[in-house]
Amino acid sequence: MEGYEMQSFEILLKQYEPLLRTQMKKLNLCKDYDFYYQCGCIALWQAYSRYDPTKGRFSTYAFSTVRGMLLSELRTQIKYEQRFKSSDGIAQHAIHYDEYEALILIDIEQLCEELTDKQATWLKKVVLEKKTVQQIAIEAHTTSKCVRSWREEALKKLRKKDVLTLE
């Protein structure tokens, strides 16, 4: 894990705390700050304990795990508030949720500018629609091997542009 095997989680948490706080700031998680901070710490712990060095850099894995957990908890919180809060709260949080989705779409569109059409298709389907390689292959009328090659080339381009690295 890039030299982290002997490192304790406390040291790793201190090292990646800026990542956690940055993601919270980008997602405007001011309300229930301590709750979301704890969720981010849990996500970092999960990344730390599940990391497989043969599958890429730890920083990239930590980033996606932390951001994914924060977005997941945000969605869960919004659904809860829509069910159990007043209509004013629902409207306010529905607007914020749309803003978060718009931010994700903007980020994806910026990333896709660096990619071919097929690579961009793979990225959008995976991130926005949560599709598997097999599902994308079926929709694109191609093979899974072909879609995996789109993925590999897209990841190479994004790594080359330092989009997927945080160090």
Task: Write the single-letter amino acid at 53.
Answer: P
User: What is the per-residue pLDDT across 29-44, written as a single tens digit (0 to 9) for each?
Assistant: 888 888 999 999 999 9
132: helix, strand or coil: coil
User: What is the per-residue pLDDT across 89-124, written as a single tens digit (0 to 9) for each?
Assistant: 444 444 444 445 554 665 777 777 878 989 888 888
Counting Cα atoms < 13 Å in the Cβ hemisphere of 95 gives 5
166: helix, strand or coil: coil
pLDDT averaged over every residue in the chain: 79
Q: Is the pTM of this model over 0.85?
A: no
Asked whether 69 and 33 are in contact (CB, 8 A), the reply is: no
pLDDT level of residue 85 (50, 70, 90 thresholds): low
Task: Write the single-letter amino acid at 81.
Answer: E
Closest-CA residue to 90 (of 80, 81, 102) = 81
Q: What mean pLDDT do residues 73-87 have?
A: 76
Is residue 3 scored above 60 in pLDDT?
A: no
* pLDDT at residue 8 in the model: 84
Is residue 127 scored above 70 in pLDDT?
A: yes
